[in-house]
Amino acid sequence: MLSVKNISYAYGDNEVLQNLNLEVKPACIHGILGMNGAGKTTFFNVMYGLLKKQVGEMKYDGQALHSRSIAYLETNNYFYSYMRAREYLQLCAGKNSSFDIDHWNALFQLPLDYLIDSFSTGMKKKLAFMGVLALNRPVLILDEPFNGVDLESNEIIYQILLRLKQQSKLILLSSHIIETLTNVCDAVSYLNEGSFRQTFQKPDFPEMERKLRDKLQEKTGEILDQLMNSGHS
């Protein structure tokens, strides 16, 4: 069980996260949905320890959550210059002899003996995702894992996540696109202005989509009305 209680974080006077509470069970894929700037990446960075939490506590299996339990796929992936893709995966796998690099690469078809600097954005994303798998940690945090990835690779990632769930991995997955999450998640928490407004279980996904779309359409409609009316004045 992953437990997050009363987590808050601020950049100076700008409070980005406000008393976040969340519980996620193993063998679960839990989505974090929010618009750009809602605080998704800040929340994940606090969980992984890249940012030091200012208030609250995080526990996994009753103990303080540590980065050693987490494999974190960041939104933007950074690699050492002059490193080849195979070397990167070997570094991630470490002593994990069960991770067969070439067998996994049969899914993604990356040129592993090329320098990573020569890879496209989508290729780097797939390589970073393979690196997360190579780490073999019980908790996976995936920040916008489908961004920049082609349709076929999206489907491959979906299938891998479902298999990892069967292995009792605990997966947190973020997106600002509803369908990316409803396709694979068991539950989705809506993050808005630094707070979790509501958590929806799978049977409630249609209601979640309707509520969010109605809210966005109302907001957009008001702005368009003003624009159109001012254009005709």
Residues 6+ apart with CB under 8 A from 158: 183, 184
Report the alpha-carbon distance of residue 123 to residue 111 in Å, rounded: 9
pTM as predicted: 0.90
| Cα 189 to Cα 200: distance, rounded to the nearest angstrom | 6
DSSP code of residue 166: H
Per-residue pLDDT of 13-24, as tens digits, reads 888 999 999 999
**Phi, psi angle pair for 52, to nearest 5°:** -80, 125
Task: Please report, in tens digits, the pLDDT of each residue of the chain (233 residues total).
Answer: 999 999 999 988 888 999 999 999 889 999 999 888 889 999 999 999 999 888 899 999 999 999 999 999 999 888 988 999 999 999 999 989 999 999 999 999 999 999 999 999 999 999 999 999 999 999 999 999 998 899 999 999 999 999 999 999 999 999 888 888 999 999 999 998 889 989 999 999 999 888 888 887 887 887 888 888 875 55
Nearest to 39, CA basis, from 24, 19, 68: 19
How is residue 116 annotated by DSSP? G
Give the CB-side neighbour count of residue 198, counting CA atoms within 13 A. 9
Angle between helices 151-166 and 101-108 (to 10 degrees): 140
Average pLDDT, the chain: 91
pLDDT of residue 215: 80
Task: Please report the sign of the dihedral spanned by the C-alpha atoms of residue 60, residue 7, residue 41, residue 156.
Answer: positive
Q: Model confidence over 130-186: pLDDT tens digits?
A: 999 999 999 999 999 998 899 999 999 999 999 999 999 999 999 888 888 999 999
